[in-house]
Each structure stands twice: as structure tokens, then as C-alpha cells.
Amino acid sequence: MPVTKKVGDEAYSGSIVKKGEMTGVVIATGSNTFFGKTAKLVASAGGKSPAQEAMFKIGNFLIIVAVVLAVIMVASIPVAMPTVFSITLALGALNLSKKKAIVSRLASIEEMAGVDILCSDKTGTLTKNQLTLGDTTLINAKDAQDVIKIGALASRKEDNDPIDNAVIKALKDQSVLADWTMEKFIPFDPVSKRIEAHLINNNTKEELWAIKGAPQVVAKLSSDPDVQKKVLDTTDALAKRGYRALGVAESKDQGKTWTILGVLSMFDPPRDDSKKTIDDCKREGISVKMITGDDTAIAIETAKKLGMGTNIYNATKVFPKNLDPDHVPADLEKLIAQADGFARVFPEHKYAIVKTLQKQGHIVAMTGDGVNDAPALKQADCGTAVAGATDAARSAAALILTSPGLSVIQTAITEARKIFARITSYTIYRVALTMNIMFLVVLSSILLNFQPLTAIMIVVMSLLDDLPIMTIAYDNTYVSKKPIRWQMKKILTTSSILGVFAVIQSMLLLFIGYMSVKNPGSISIFQVGNLSQLQTIMFLQLVAGGHLLLFVTRQTRWFFERPFPAPILFWAIVITQIFAACACYLGWFVPRISLWMICEIWIYNIAWMFILNIIRMIIEKVQK
């Protein structure tokens, strides 16, 4: 809506003059203008990705272990890790796009999984962005529809004005509009603050003048002080409840005298799915804060209807006038943390809110649609451009919605948690398996002066291990009911302990096989002919045990409980194991061993699978 400017007021760069003339003095240019400050905030916003930091920490951990053991092996280098991460994130992004959420930055997916505060705008996201008529206060009219009819006659449907559309839509009998011909129409003017229409009845030739506009303006058309007071009191009461007010009057004597018919109340109703989505967010550990440019009363009323907290502050009153978003006072930081939302916000307020919450350790998602929202969208861990957002907002956002409403964001967060769980399970598996291979080679060389794997075995094993792992991006997974983020201490502790027991598993089989070679007949049920066959045994043990370990790491409960592995992952592993067994039985690339020996190795690995699963559950219980 146009805003009236008077002598001494400021007009921001980029403003458009709708009507009138005025001499202005330029007081700021470039980055010192209001628009320039917004652009400057966009340039300064941004942060490091937790996924990048996590990958560096995982890589550094494996490098340190490799240095300590003083061995460099092809199989110990996590060459598939970046590929698995990228494929998982890319397929996750594809899945999100099917659910009306387009990812512009892959790293934002894992950031979404950890979101614990969602700063949402009101109009169009929490509400329908469609003005709707509420209760009508009658002044001189006998029926609410009489007031609405005159308001509709003072409207032009072709203008597609949201207020006109709301009034026309509320009229039950639309046919009465066809009985009148509009002779003259005076559109809304920021000075007069009203719309006026001159109409003639097609049947009776009766003339009618209809007006609707700001109640304060319409009230002045009446000479009755009591009527004026009632209109103004009604307007104040509606404002306190967060409603807009529209006065309606008619005249039948060419506008010489006016009859005040009543006051229409208007509001932007909440979306049908908003309350349920907010309740779902609460259950999933996400706090939703309302950030809006509307009046405080409107924000509080909307919050009540949605079941949100009503501790909403007027940003223009609580934020300093010359706010430095990078240096927020301590008392204001506390207020931001405790508030359920802010009204009357400006771009620097949104930016400061996001940065303050991040400083307090939160992972923040922020929604927006305008150019002024760009700094906050870029600074947020998960900046979200809502449906219909400007190009500037889309460029700054990490997530772009193609469908209105908050439910799309909540769905995206749920999907992100699934993706994060897949990456976490793979990370634990990869670290544990790498430790197993490295320690096995080093310890067998030191203790037995024996190389358990040949060069060709290492290459084949790497391929057999990594190819099925690519399908982990499709795996079914448990969805966490609270925000999840990279807990490197927990991940590395879990993977290290599992790695140690995996080493024990491999070393035990190696010692049994080695004793069988050196002392033939000493172990009747497990007889190994020579050291070459022992290498094949260790090759098969690592291939089979590695994939069984993945079934253990993919969830924190028993591996045979729901959610079951995705069919593509399960069958990829089955096919890989069949190939490995055939290679060992037929002597492809490796010395041949008997079918009975292959079965014994599988029984041994399955037994250890249960042991490792118990250890996994104990670790999870202790670390909670």
C-alpha cells in the first residue's frame, strides 16, 4: 500500500512515487543507503558447513591412526567416502525436489537435519495470504450482508485488489452486483484513504454513492458524535485483536449526507496445515519463531490461533535504532533467545536474530521472500526462499520452496534427518572397517611375520567393499525425533570400539588358521592347507565381515528389526558376496579354498555379527 510522506520524512533508494511532488535532498549514497546496507549484509553473510568440518575431522582421525601404525595401504584410504557423501546428498536433493523443495547447496541438507529453531515469516507461510472478512459491526445497517453489498459495489473486480476481492467474495448473493451500473469510480488514494463509487440501479434508475476506506476517514462523514465514537472504538478493539478495519458508508443525495452502515473486520487466516505442522515441529524438537513485518497485535492473534507462544516483541522498540547486527547487546541476546517471535522487523533485525541464535549454539532455518530478506537467508544455516520469492531471495537461499506453507519445510527437515542418518551409519562403518584392515596387516606382520593379503586381494576387496556401499543412499533408516548434528566424539568412539572388536574378530580367525597351517591336525574342524589358502580365508572374512558390519552400524537396535535394509542395498551385498564366494571356490584372483571352508567362514562372521550388534547397543546406551 502507498505510504504518505511529509516534510522531514525519508524516502529510501528504489522507492517509487505514486502521486504528488516533493523536493528531496540526497543524504546517503551507495552502501550507506537503506538498500545498500541490505546488499552489504548479503555480502557478509555465510558460514562454514558442518559437513565439511566433519569430513575433515574424520579424515584427520584416519590419517593419525595411519601415521601411528606407520603403514600406507590402498585399502585403508577411504576413497569412496567423498563419493558416498556426494551420491547420498545428491539423491536426497532429488527426493526433496519431488516434495516441492529445491536444494541450491548440497551441504544445506545435513544442516537441515540439525535445525532446532525455525524462524518463519507469517504472510503466505503461516497464513494463506488471502484477506478474509471476519465479524461485521453494524452501525446503521440492519444486516451484515447490507454492509458487505455496499462495500462490494465500491469495488472493481478487474483491479484484483486483495481488499476488494475479500469483500466481493464475502457477498452471498453475487447477482445483486449485476443490478447496478458504475458511472464513476475513484480509486484508493493515500491522501483520501478511501474508495468512492457512483452507481445507478438498472431497474429503478436509483442513484447511489458508496464509500469504503479507513474507518477514521469514513467516521468523519457522519455528523453524529456517537456514531463517530462507535466507529473509532470498534476500530481500536479490532486493532488490539490483530484485525484490520474497513468503514462502509452510503449516500443517496449525491454525497451531501452520508449514512455509516458499519465496520468490516479483515484478517489473513492461518493455513489449514500450519497448526499441525507447528505441533509436529515441536514434537521433533524444533522451536518455531514468528518473524513478521506486520503489527504486533496481528502477530500475537495469529500465534494464538496456531498454538504458538505469544511472547512476541515489536522489533522497532527492542532493537537499537543504529543496530550493529554483528554486535548485539547481551540483554538483547537473552531477549532473542526467550522470544516467541518479533513483529515490525526490518532486514537488519532478521540478520541480527539469526546471527545471535547461531552464536548461542543453535542451527537456524529462516524463511523469506523479498530482497530485504537476502542477508538473513544467506546467514542462516538453512535459508529458505518461500514460494513466489524474488530472485535475490532465491539466490541467497539454500532451499527454495515451490509450494507455499510451512509443511514443506518440515517435510524437508524430516528427509534431511534420514539422509544424515545414512551418512552417519556409513561413516561409522568406514572408520571401523579401515581400522580392522590396518591393524590386521600390521599386527600379523609384527606377530607372525605374515602378510594376510596380497596386492590383488587388496584391490579386489576395495572394489567389492565400495561398490555396494554406493547404494546406501537408498537405504531405509530410522528418523530421529530430535535435531541431529555431527557428534564427532560419539561417532569416532563408536567406530573405534567396533573397529577394535572387528580386529579381534579378524586376528582370532588368523591365529586359528595360522596354527592349523603350522600344526596340521591340531584343529580338526578348521584345517588350512597352506599360508596361501589362509590369505584367501582372510580375504573372504574381510569382505563378508565388512558388509555384515554395515548391517550392524545402520541402526542402534538389532540388525533384524525395522527399518529393514532397502532392497537395492540388500541385493547388492548378496550379489557381491556370491561373487566373492565363487572367486574363492573357483580360484579367481585368489588361491582356491573348499566350499566347506567358505561355509565355516560365513558361520564365524554371522556369529560375530551378533556379538558386534550387542556391543553397538551397549555403546549407544552408555553414550546417551
The C-alpha angle with vertex 409 and arms to 406 and 410, in degrees rounded to 5, equals: 90
Which residue did the predictor score with more confidence, 458 or 432?
432
| Per-residue pLDDT at 73 | 46
- Please say if the pLDDT value at position 72 is more than 80: no
pLDDT digits (tens, 9 = 90+) for 399-440: 888 888 888 888 888 888 888 888 888 889 888 988 898 888
Reported as a pLDDT band with limits 50, 70 and 90, residue 51 is low
In the numeric block, which cell numbers belong to residue 21?
Answer: 511532488
pLDDT digits (tens, 9 = 90+) for 341-393: 998 888 888 888 999 999 998 999 988 887 778 888 888 888 888 888 888 88
Q: Is the peptide bond before 563 cis (omega within 30 degrees of 0)?
A: yes
Q: What is the mean pLDDT of residues 17-43?
A: 73
Count of C-beta atoms within a 10 Å radius of residue 578: 10
The C-alpha angle with vertex 600 and arms to 599 and 605, in degrees rounded to 5, equals: 95
Reported as a pLDDT band with limits 50, 70 and 90, residue 294 is confident
| Per-residue pLDDT at 347 | 80
Choice among 307-321, 323-337, 514-528 with the minimum mean pLDDT: 514-528
Reported pTM: 0.73
In the numeric block, which cell numbers belong to residue 166?
Answer: 475479500
| Per-residue pLDDT at 471 | 84
pLDDT digits (tens, 9 = 90+) for 574-603: 999 999 999 999 988 888 988 988 999 999
In the numeric block, which cell numbers belong to residue 487?
Answer: 557428534
Which residue did the predictor score with more confidence, 621 or 75?
621
| Per-residue pLDDT at 523 | 65
Active site residue 121: yes
In the numeric block, which cell numbers belong to residue 348?
Answer: 537488519
The Cα–Cα gap between 259 and 252 comes to 9
Exposure string of 338-370, with b = 16+ CB inside 10 Å and e = fewer, is ebbbbbbbbbbbbbbbbbbbbeeebbbbbbbbb
Radius of gyration of the chain (CA): 35
- 86-89: long-range contacts (C-beta < 8 A, 24 or more apart)? 87/470, 87/473, 88/419, 88/422, 88/423, 88/426, 88/472, 88/473, 89/419, 89/423
Q: Give me the sheet containing 364-368, strands edge to edge.
A: 101-103, 399-401, 382-385, 364-368, 117-120, 287-291, 341-343, 312-314
The Cα–Cα gap between 569 and 297 comes to 54
| Per-residue pLDDT at 241 | 82
| Per-residue pLDDT at 191 | 77
In 279-396, beta strands by DSSP E: 287-291, 312-314, 341-343, 364-368, 382-385
Render 387-433 in DSSP notation, one character per residue.
Answer: TT--HHHHHH-SEEESS-SSHHHHHHHHHHHHHHHHHHHHHHHHHHH
- Please say if the pLDDT value at position 71 is more than 60: no
The C-alpha angle with vertex 242 and arms to 240 and 244, in degrees rounded to 5, equals: 105
Name the 3-class secondary structure at 200: strand
The C-alpha angle with vertex 116 and arms to 345 and 623, in degrees rounded to 5, equals: 160
- Please say if the pLDDT value at position 30 is more than 80: no
The Cα–Cα gap between 318 and 74 comes to 60
pLDDT digits (tens, 9 = 90+) for 127-165: 888 888 988 999 999 999 999 999 999 999 888 888 899
Question: Which range, 33-42, 199-208, 363-372, is most confident?
Answer: 199-208
In the numeric block, which cell numbers belong to residue 493?
Answer: 568412539
pLDDT digits (tens, 9 = 90+) for 538-571: 999 999 998 999 999 988 889 888 888 889 989 9
In the numeric block, which cell numbers belong to residue 198?
Answer: 457512483
The Cα–Cα gap between 402 and 399 comes to 10
- Please say if the pLDDT value at position 488 is more than 50: yes
- Please say if the pLDDT value at position 308 is more than 60: yes
- Please say if the pLDDT value at position 69 is more than 60: no
Beta bridge partners of residue 287, listed in sequence order:
117
Which residue did the predictor score with more confidence, 424 or 21?
424
Exposure string of 203-219, with b = 16+ CB inside 10 Å and e = fewer, is eeeeebbbbbbbbeebb
The Cα–Cα gap between 374 and 440 comes to 53
- What's the half-sphere exposure (Cβ side, CA atoms, 13 Å) at 282? 12
- Please say if the pLDDT value at position 534 is more than 70: yes
For residue 126, give the nearest of 285, 306, 317 by alpha carbon: 306
The Cα–Cα gap between 513 and 607 comes to 17
Q: Are 404 and 271 in contact (CB under 8 A)?
A: yes
pLDDT digits (tens, 9 = 90+) for 217-276: 999 999 899 999 999 999 888 888 878 899 999 999 888 899 999 999 998 888 888 898
Q: What is the mean pLDDT of residues 75-90?
A: 67
Q: How far is C-alpha 314 from the chain's CA centre?
A: 26
| Per-residue pLDDT at 498 | 94
- Please say if the pLDDT value at position 50 is more than 70: no
Q: Are 365 and 358 in contact (CB under 8 A)?
A: no
Reported as a pLDDT band with limits 50, 70 and 90, residue 521 is low
Reported as a pLDDT band with limits 50, 70 and 90, residue 52 is low
Q: Are 130 and 162 in contact (CB under 8 A)?
A: yes
Which residue did the predictor score with more confidence, 565 or 455?
565
- Please say if the pLDDT value at position 167 is more than 90: yes
The contacts of residue 282 (CB under 8 Å, 6+ apart) are 288
The Cα–Cα gap between 448 and 445 comes to 6
Give how far Cα 267 sits from Cα of 135, 154, 158, 515, 613, Å.
10, 20, 22, 83, 57
Which candidate in 121, 369, 381, 475 is catalytic?
Answer: 121
| Per-residue pLDDT at 610 | 94
Name the 3-class secondary structure at 320: coil
- Please say if the pLDDT value at position 70 is more than 50: no
The contacts of residue 195 (CB under 8 Å, 6+ apart) are 154, 155, 185, 186, 187, 188, 211, 212, 213
| Per-residue pLDDT at 269 | 86
Domains in the chain: ranges and CATH: 73-81+413-623 (1.20.1110.10), 93-127+271-412 (3.40.50.1000), 132-267 (3.40.1110.10)
For residue 584, give the nearest of 544, 548, 540 by alpha carbon: 540
